Amino acid sequence: MLDLHFIKEVEDYVRELFKAKLGNEVLYHTIKHTIDVVDAVEVIGKAESISENDSEILLIAAWFHDTGHFHCCTGHEEQSTMYAKEFLEKYFYPSEKIEQILDCIRATKIPQNPTNKLEEIICDADLLHLGEKNIKERGDLLREEFELRGIKKLSDIEWMNHSIAFFNQHHFFTEYAKKNYGLQKEKNLEIMKEYLDILIKSENEK
């Protein structure tokens, strides 16, 4: 049975972590993104007919999945599992469920390689925005975050190439995501390709 009281404990804890630890240079991997992923795993989970027990595992994993961004970027998933494990063990949460939660967090690492239904759901939830119309807004925030954190600074053409390559290697796993977000994702990809052509043409005319 889904323990809503415990889920609220998790939510409150993670929200406080974000308030206390998130740096000003983190513009994309914010509490808003985490809430979006939490909402998405709930929606996709219902569509995929998972049990209440599995829903609890997914919701907890979604709340913790980006807490590692307080400290690092590459490999942040492993740092996120440490936050989750420390919190859950304090509540004597069942060890087998903890392992499932940690595996779900690890599965979000790029390139995604989920091994079961729960991991597929959280992977799709984490990148569901690839199939939404506000993709440029999300992309701009991520690009600026990369620059502010010293990860990479790319020209407009380099960023478009990077984004297109990312889109090409990604695919949704659940039937829900494929059906509801796959078409818009393809449209977003075509828009980016057209914009890249414009950028290249403009650069060549200089």
End-to-end CA distance of the chain: 64
Q: Where are the domains of the chain?
A: 4-204
Whole-number percent of the chain with pLDDT over 90: 91
| Single-letter amino acid, residue 19 | K
Tell me which residue has tokens 């985490």.
34
Number of helices followed by number of strands (H, E) in the chain? 9, 0
Q: Whole-number mean pLDDT of the chain? A: 95
Q: Transcribe 113-141 into DSSP letters.
A: ---SHHHHHHHHHHTGGGGSTTHHHHHHH
Provide the residue count of the chain.
206
pLDDT at residue number 202: 92
The CATH code for residues 4-204 is 1.10.3210.10
Tokens 């308030």 sit on residue: 19
Q: What per-residue confidence (pLDDT) applies to 115?
A: 97
Instruction: Give pTM, 2 decimals.
Output: 0.95
**How many other CB atoms are there within 10 angstroms of residue 154's CB atom?**
15
Query: What are the tokens at 29?
Result: 């991997």
Query: What pLDDT shows up at residue 68?
Result: 94
Read off the pLDDT of residues 147-165 as tens digits, 9 standing for 90 and up.
999 888 999 999 999 999 9
Residues of the chain with pLDDT below 50 are: none
pLDDT of residue 75: 79
Token pair of 90 as six digits: 């304090």
**Per-residue pLDDT at 2:** 82
CB atoms within 10 A of CB 65: 31
